[in-house]
Amino acid sequence: MDLIIDTLRVKLGKRTVLHDVSAHLRPGRVTAILGPNGAGKSTVVKAAAALVDRSTGSVRLDAQDVASMDPRARARAIGYLPQDATVHWNIVARDVVALGRLPHLGAHAAPSPEDRDAVDRAMHDTETTHLADRPVGELSGGERARVLLARVLAGEPRWLLADEPLASLDPSHQIDLLARLRGYALGGAGVAIVLHDLVQAQRAADDALLLADGRVVAFGPVAQVMTAETLGDVFGVRVAGLDDGNGCLLVPVGRIEAA
């Protein structure tokens, strides 16, 4: 099931934040959404999840417009993890994760063994099983972030859209989470994640959608999009190559000062 963004234009208030953005995202791959602050990265994933209205253009799962889908069907197909995700009730972590199964439950239906198994897998995959009986209000920011990711994974969506999922995690859990998202994509799902860390994007992603000022600068395989020249121009930084033993990574080493 391809995720197709076609000439998408979005206005927030009187300001146009996305200008004719197009990209064809494919399942089985991780797509990193990159760009400077204010580039429109979060708006792209919100539009893909039908959480903001568009002015023109479309977002489709294959031929079906996501905005016209039945909300429960859309929630089963697309899992969205916002960057400022919160839990408004101080319930235990396992109950938070179980909320991810709601789109699969019928009216007044009790969770099935399949639902409970999905919750167990999601908590195992995010290393949150040991947190199952702890109230979320007692968790650290990083622990809470992993529980909220588990809630999305429990829904087993065909597409997982995550807005800066690394923000509250320490380096070890950042690496682990990206590896697990890659594993989720290798299982056949599509994954699109907003990232600020260019090195992590090169390591984790197959494709990159690079934005600036609400417009597409480049889209395609990471090696084609994330070049020293393009990154330097978009971010205003000097870029150098670093051999990490698995290949050459492009690393920002300083700002380009205006003449």
What does the domain layout of the chain look like in residue ranges?
3-226, 228-259
Residues of the chain with pLDDT under 70: 85, 107-108, 258-259
Note if the pTM is more than 0.85. Answer: yes
Q: What are 33's two structure tokens?
A: 């959404």
CATH 3.30.70.360 fits 3-226, yes or no: no
**b/e per residue 225-255 (b: at least 16 CB within 10 A):** bbeeebbeebbebebeeeeeeeeebbbeeee
| Residues 121-159 pLDDT 10s | 999 988 999 999 999 999 988 888 889 999 999 999 999
Q: What's the confidence (pLDDT) of residue 133?
A: 97
SS3 32: strand
Exposure of 84 in the CB half-sphere (CA atoms within 13 A): 2
Instruction: Report the distance separating Cα 86 and Cα 177, nearest Å.
Output: 19
Q: What's the confidence (pLDDT) of residue 57?
A: 95
Q: What are 220's two structure tokens?
A: 């395609």
Q: What's the confidence (pLDDT) of residue 258?
A: 60
Q: What's the confidence (pLDDT) of residue 131?
A: 97
Q: What's the confidence (pLDDT) of residue 111?
A: 87
**b/e per residue 25-43 (b: at least 16 CB within 10 A):** beeebbbbbbbeeebbbbb
Instruction: Report the distance separating Cα 175 and Cα 127, nearest Å.
Output: 13
Q: What's the confidence (pLDDT) of residue 3?
A: 97
Instruction: Report the distance separating Cα 76 and Cα 156, nearest Å.
Output: 7
Q: What's the confidence (pLDDT) of residue 108?
A: 66
- The residues, ordered by sequence, that sit 6+ positions from 13 with a Cβ below 8 Å of its Cβ are none
